[in-house]
Each structure stands twice: as C-alpha cells, then as structure tokens.
C-alpha cells in the first residue's frame, strides 16, 4: 500500500503540486477566501440578531405609542418620568442611585 502511494505521488507530483497550490490560493489568497467567508458569516449572524432585537423594540414602541395616544394618565406618567415635566404646584425630586 505504501509503495503504491509513493509511486502515485512520483508519477503525478506536478499535478499534485498544482492542485496543492490551487487549494492554498483558494483558501487564503483569493478574493472570496475561507477567512473572509467565515468573517462575513459571523457578521451576518450578528446582523440577524440585531434585526430581531430591533423588530421587538419597534413592536414594543408601537404598543407604547398606542397606549399613550389613548390613555391620558399613562401620557402624564410618561412625560413625568422621561421628560421631567411637572404640574404648576408641584416639585420634582430626582433621586439617582450611586453605582
């Protein structure tokens, strides 16, 4: 078996060398090499995760918008919490926790 492999290598060494060169070139030096494809796949995965997160956020924001458009108490609460708005005879105290 070993002799057959060695004789095969001796007979086709030029062809094997060309094949080896071609494989190395395609894996590492071509425009669409293995490293670039791997990096692009990782980027695609992260973009898909970001898209799913943003779709969920849009869904939540639409629900919150609908709630704020229909419920005035929720609108007041939102304005007080997010924009620190107050009524005329009211004082607002901001409490921040230290980390």
pLDDT tens per residue, range 54-90: 999 999 999 999 999 999 999 988 888 888 888 888 8
Q: Which residue has the higher pLDDT, 8 or 39?
A: 39
Cα within 13 Å of Cα(24), Cβ side: 6
| Mean pLDDT score, 11-39 | 85
CB 92 within 8 A of CB 84: yes
Radius of gyration of the chain (CA): 32
Q: By C-alpha distance, which of 2, 93, 69, 30 is closest to 10?
A: 2
State if pTM tops 0.85: no
């Amino acid at each position: 078996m070993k002799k057959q492999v060695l004789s095969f290598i001796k007979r086709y060494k030029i062809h094997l060398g060309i094949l080896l060169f071609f494989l190395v070139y395609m894996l590492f030096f071509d425009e669409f090499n293995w490293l670039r494809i791997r990096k692009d796949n990782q980027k695609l995965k992260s973009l898909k995760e970001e898209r799913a997160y943003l779709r969920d956020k849009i869904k939540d924001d639409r629900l919150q918008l609908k709630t704020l458009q229909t419920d005035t108490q929720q609108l007041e609460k939102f304005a007080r919490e997010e924009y620190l708005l107050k009524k005329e005879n009211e004082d607002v105290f901001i409490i921040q926790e230290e980390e």
